[in-house]
């Protein structure tokens, strides 16, 4: 048998590689096989059967080789390595930049990637920005064109969303440490890895294990967990455990530590003059811990350590003292060493592309990221091998590691991504909930002078928001302002950035002077190659701005900004400008969530590590049902119930709001304002509350006056109304009116002959009793009309003005009022009509009270007349659930609420004013607790409050439209809604 030449052998080897590549293009419908375990010492490989080689292209002229070496089920890495040419092995070391957006086949950047794969034999890519489908489709296309499967890498320090639009975004590392819960780091890592795996990413460049102990660090900042090495180690280890639990490679960076620099290595070469003792006790501690816990990969830093290394002026990436001696020999790291970007000026300004790679290899690096010129680098490395300046065995060592990884992660068996699985695996509800919880828990309050927080509109009626940015987009703070407007009725806003003119600054100063409170949103954060401090001009201006106005600083980025603005009265760390952080921060400013974070860094001259103030949650916020253990799927029953009622003409539309544990967990508008179906009902619809007026206006007014000692519940009504000073009426008390056992009839028409306020009130006062006081229960509108008159008598102001002053305005119930028709057109558009009155008023009742007696009492009465939204009623219900407090202010005493909502009548299970869940059928449903209290309104409104479950269920409809004979099923609907809500509670 004749011998095969080296050239023939090389061709044969090339053929082997090609067939493996094409065999691996099997159907995307199979799930990816991932076998890595958290324990670096063991792994289990899962076999796979290849069934599809249809992607073999005729343009490839290689012959089909034997599979004895490169069987997809039994890849032999050492044998494969021997088949590769020197140039192919060098190419495997390089990882090139790619953007994960759609690219057609003629796209120049796509063609360049194909050339890099085909001609330079690159080992993989590092994806930068992109979107979910763009990146996965491009990955599949590139994998099909590569002989050896590509190793896919990506920066994911704060989740896949760091690079991929639409993925789950977490707050930065420092925010995670502020939660004081290392489990959050684990779940952040795990979720990030799950989404990376779905995207076809094999290795993520995270976590950052740098100790951020230099406030002037221009590149690390909030990317670090902390300024304390032990804290960095703890959170870093948990993040790595989360990542590696999903079989994804985690990369700790930037070894041996990038935290104590004031120079950005993207721009030049930083130099750290610390000696080894300092490095060993601070910077190396998190890396040593990560190595001990089984970290797979470590990224080197482009930083020089002249007092540690024997090789002066070399960045750690090229320094064998740092990598070979410290990392590999001393720390006993056996994983993959990765460079930071070789295009960064700390490297590229001092070394040619090939020289950088040669020095990095000799220092102990395995993977070369982002060479500024990989073609030149490959040629220079090849030349170095031929000249004996670099051993081919050194290249083999790194390539062997990479090929083993590719085998271990199943890339020779299946390298294609299942596109159809993405929608269930990325940014799903569970992932979003975890990210949102971490965001809330990360908020850190450093200062709260004069108890500015929680903010209340009653204390600060006019607010000015100034968003400070270090870019020129003009969009900084858009989300901040819009959300603040959801909580406050009077907000003006400005942006201070590089484009701001003198005239605009003058306008800001004027607004700040007129405002009761100034909120400064700082959107200055870390960007590569840019400063993270305020400009001197802006700093001087901001100090003028808050000089004479109470101020709140919210840092959505660089936390050290408080050093520039130390005189601000309240200082809240929100850590990042992403949508989730803004969504968490704004409710917290108004008391919508607890603030309990602690500072993971030291802010020199101001705050030590672990500093932080605690504020409890005192107000409502809107959030997902799952946050308060309600099943989202189960709550969908409410939609069915409401739509069935609408189709059955129980009412034309309505709103349901569910409040649990201080969260508006469900709020939906259904149907239309009328059966013409022209104006949909939205969540902010304003409804005529009818008899809810009794317990939302009149009863709390009486409660307040009793607490203040102005009246007593046992006062004789005759003390305030002379007509009740004689006869049977002289013994009637306020208590009797509240209990509906005064002897007064349920109602009288009156308006068939009496159409003035004074004559109707006179008639009510002179109405004869129909039974002996206290002997039975007779629900009476007349008694509550008299209670309204008593409030006016003792306060000197009408009922509407009293409750507006004492309750609605300070509570922030800005859409709760009597006589809404007197307000602007925008308010009236939100009000559904309640009835077409063909008996007394001969018109459609819209924005005017439905109840005839209240209508002729100028729209203000103790029994009816109040209009409100479900959101406002949610505030009121939460105040009652809170024991009378809201946003840090007490409106009623808890004992007062307990008394008025407890059973007080021997004739019926009622409280004072408040109704309670009755025995047998109840509109509060069958599943609410026996302590449930609330009320219903004739127009189709109700709310029921279950204090045992910290739950409120609010229903607003206009079931009396077009005529009050409609909507007879409203009681059944109320009960079904209540039971559906309680059934949705996850035990």
Instruction: Point out the residues that are catalytic.
Output: 266, 340
- Tokens at 412, concatenated: 């020779």
The dihedral of CA 480, 483, 484, 489: what is its sign? positive
Cα–Cα distance between 665 and 621 in angstroms, integer? 9
The dihedral of CA 828, 834, 837, 841: what is its sign? negative
Cα pseudo-dihedral 34, 38, 40, 46, rounded to 10 = -30
620, 878 Cβ separation under 8 angstroms: yes
Helix, strand, or coil (residue 866): strand
Q: How many residues in the chain?
A: 987
555, 573 Cβ separation under 8 angstroms: yes
873, 943 Cβ separation under 8 angstroms: yes
Cα–Cα distance between 185 and 148 in angstroms, integer? 34
181, 566 Cβ separation under 8 angstroms: no
- What is the DSSP secondary structure assignment for residue 338, as one 8-state letter? E
- Tokens at 481, concatenated: 């302002």
- What is the DSSP secondary structure assignment for residue 75, as one 8-state letter? -
Cα–Cα distance between 572 and 559 in angstroms, integer? 9
Strand residues in 624-783 grouped as ranges (E): 653-660, 663-671, 687-688
- Tokens at 240, concatenated: 């790595």
Cα–Cα distance between 118 and 870 in angstroms, integer? 63
Question: How far, in Å, are 397, 500, 969 from residue 965 at the CA level?
Answer: 86, 61, 11
Q: Using N-to-C axis directions, what is the helix angle for 536-545 and 502-514, rounded to 10°?
A: 30
Cα–Cα distance between 790 and 698 in angstroms, integer? 10
Task: Give the chain's end-to-end CA distance (angstroms, integer).
Answer: 78
Question: How far, in Å, are 317, 648, 830, 842 from residue 653 at the CA level?
Answer: 67, 11, 12, 23
Question: How far, in Å, are 598, 645, 720, 869, 871 from residue 980 at the CA level?
Answer: 40, 15, 45, 22, 20
Which are the contacts of 656, defined by CB distance < 8 A and separation ≥ 6?
Answer: 638, 642, 666, 667, 668, 670, 870, 953, 954, 955, 977
Cα–Cα distance between 730 and 724 in angstroms, integer? 5
782, 760 Cβ separation under 8 angstroms: no
400, 85 Cβ separation under 8 angstroms: no
Cα–Cα distance between 279 and 282 in angstroms, integer? 5
Cα–Cα distance between 838 and 640 in angstroms, integer? 33
């Amino acid at each position: 048998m004749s011998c095969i030449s080296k050239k023939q052998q090389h061709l044969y080897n090339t053929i082997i590689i090609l067939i493996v590549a094409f065999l691996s293009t099997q159907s995307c419908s199979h799930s990816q096989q991932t076998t890595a375990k958290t324990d670096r010492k063991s792994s289990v490989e899962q076999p796979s059967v290849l069934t599809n080689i249809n992607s073999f292209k005729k343009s490839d002229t290689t012959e089909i080789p034997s599979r004895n070496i490169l069987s997809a089920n039994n890849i032999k890495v050492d044998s494969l390595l021997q088949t590769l040419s020197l140039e192919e092995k060098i190419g495997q070391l390089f990882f090139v930049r790619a953007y994960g957006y759609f690219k057609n086949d003629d796209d120049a950047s796509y063609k360049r990637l194909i050339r890099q794969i085909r001609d330079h034999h690159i080992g993989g890519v590092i994806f930068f920005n992109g979107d979910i489908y763009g990146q996965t489709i491009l990955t599949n296309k590139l994998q099909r064109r590569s002989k050896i499967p590509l190793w896919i890498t990506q920066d994911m320090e704060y989740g896949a969303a760091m690079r991929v639009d639409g993925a789950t975004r977490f707050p930065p590392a420092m925010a995670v440490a502020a939660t004081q819960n290392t489990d959050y780091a684990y779940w952040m890592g795990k979720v990030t890895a799950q989404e990376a795996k779905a995207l076809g990413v094999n290795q993520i460049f995270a976590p950052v294990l740098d100790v951020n102990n230099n406030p002037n660090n221009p590149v690390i900042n909030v990317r670090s967990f902390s300024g304390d090495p032990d804290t960095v180690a703890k959170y870093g280890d948990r993040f790595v455990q989360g990542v590696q639990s999903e079989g994804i490679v985690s990369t700790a960076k930037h070894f041996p530590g990038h935290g104590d620099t004031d120079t950005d290595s993207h721009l030049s070469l930083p130099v750290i003059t610390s000696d080894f003792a300092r490095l060993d006790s601070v910077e190396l501690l998190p890396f040593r811990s990560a190595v001990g816990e089984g970290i797979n990969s470590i990224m080197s830093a482009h930083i020089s350590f002249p007092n540690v290394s024997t090789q002066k002026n070399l960045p750690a990436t090229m320094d064998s003292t740092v990598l070979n001696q410290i990392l590999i020999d001393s720390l006993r790291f056996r994983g993959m060493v990765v460079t930071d970007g070789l295009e960064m000026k700390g490297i590229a300004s001092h070394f040619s592309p090939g020289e950088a790679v040669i020095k990095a290899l000799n220092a102990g690096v395995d993977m070369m990221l982002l060479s500024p010129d990989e073609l030149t680098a490959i040629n220079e490395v090849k030349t170095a091998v031929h000249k004996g300046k670099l051993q081919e065995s050194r290249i083999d060592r790194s390539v062997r590691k990479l090929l083993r990884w590719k085998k271990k992660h199943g890339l020779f068996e299946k390298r294609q991504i299942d596109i159809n699985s993405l929608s269930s695996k990325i940014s799903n509800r569970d992932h979003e909930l975890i990210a949102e919880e971490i965001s809330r828990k990360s908020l850190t309050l450093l200062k709260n002078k004069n108890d500015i927080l929680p903010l209340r509109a009653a204390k600060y009626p006019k607010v000015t928001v100034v968003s400070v940015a270090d870019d020129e987009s003009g969009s900084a703070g858009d989300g901040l302002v819009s959300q603040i407007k959801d909580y406050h009725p009077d907000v003006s806003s400005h942006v201070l950035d590089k484009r701001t003119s003198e005239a605009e600054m003058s306008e800001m100063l004027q607004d700040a002077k007129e405002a009761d409170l100034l909120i400064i949103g700082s959107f200055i954060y870390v960007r590569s190659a840019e400063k993270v401090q305020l400009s001197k001009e802006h700093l001087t201006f901001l100090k003028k701005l808050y000089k004479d106005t109470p101020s709140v600083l919210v840092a959505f980025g660089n936390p050290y900004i408080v050093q520039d603005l130390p005189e601000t009265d309240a200082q809240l760390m929100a850590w990042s400008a992403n949508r989730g952080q803004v969504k968490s921060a704004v409710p917290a400013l108004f008391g919508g969530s607890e603030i309990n974070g602690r500072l993971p860094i030291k802010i020199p001259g101001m705050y030590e590590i672990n500093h932080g103030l605690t504020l409890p949650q005192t107000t409502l916020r809107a959030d997902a049902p799952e946050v308060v253990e309600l099943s989202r799927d189960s709550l969908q029953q409410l939609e069915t119930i409401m739509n069935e009622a609408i189709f059955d003409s129980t009412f034309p539309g309505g709103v349901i709001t569910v409040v649990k544990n201080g969260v508006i967990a469900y709020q939906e508008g259904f149907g239309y304002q009328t059966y013409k179906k022209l104006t949909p009902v939205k969540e902010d619809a304003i409804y005529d509350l009818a008899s809810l007026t009794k317990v939302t206006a009149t009863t709390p007014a009486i409660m307040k006056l009793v607490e203040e000692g102005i009246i007593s519940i046992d006062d004789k009504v005759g003390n305030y109304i002379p007509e009740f000073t004689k006869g049977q009426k002289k013994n009637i008390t306020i208590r009797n009116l509240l209990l509906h056992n005064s002897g007064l009839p349920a109602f009288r028409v009156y308006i068939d002959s009496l159409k003035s306020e004074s004559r109707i009130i006179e008639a009510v006062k002179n109405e004869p009793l129909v039974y002996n006081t206290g002997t039975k229960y007779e629900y009476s509108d007349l008694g509550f009309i008299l209670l309204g008159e008593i409030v006016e008598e003792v306060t000197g102001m009408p009922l509407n003005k009293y409750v507006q002053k004492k309750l609605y305005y300070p509570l922030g119930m800005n859409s709760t009022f009597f006589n809404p028709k007197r307000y602007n057109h925008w308010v009236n558009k939100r009000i559904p009509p309640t009835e077409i009155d063909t008996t007394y008023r001969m018109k459609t009742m819209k924005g005017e009270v439905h109840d005839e007696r209240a209508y002729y009492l100028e729209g203000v009465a103790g029994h009816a007349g109040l209009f409100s939204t479900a959101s406002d009623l949610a505030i009121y219900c939460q105040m009652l659930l809170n024991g009378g407090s809201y946003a840090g202010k007490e409106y009623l005493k808890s004992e007062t609420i307990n008394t008025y909502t407890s059973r007080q009548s021997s004739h019926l299970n009622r409280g004072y004013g408040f109704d309670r869940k009755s025995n047998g059928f109840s509109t509060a449903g069958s599943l609410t607790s026996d302590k449930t209290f609330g009320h219903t309104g004739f127009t189709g409104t109700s709310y029921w409050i279950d204090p045992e479950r910290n739950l409120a269920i609010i229903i607003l409809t206009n079931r009396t439209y077009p005529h009050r004979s409609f909507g007879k099923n409203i009681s059944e609907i109320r009960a079904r809604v209540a039971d559906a809500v309680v059934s949705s509670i996850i035990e």
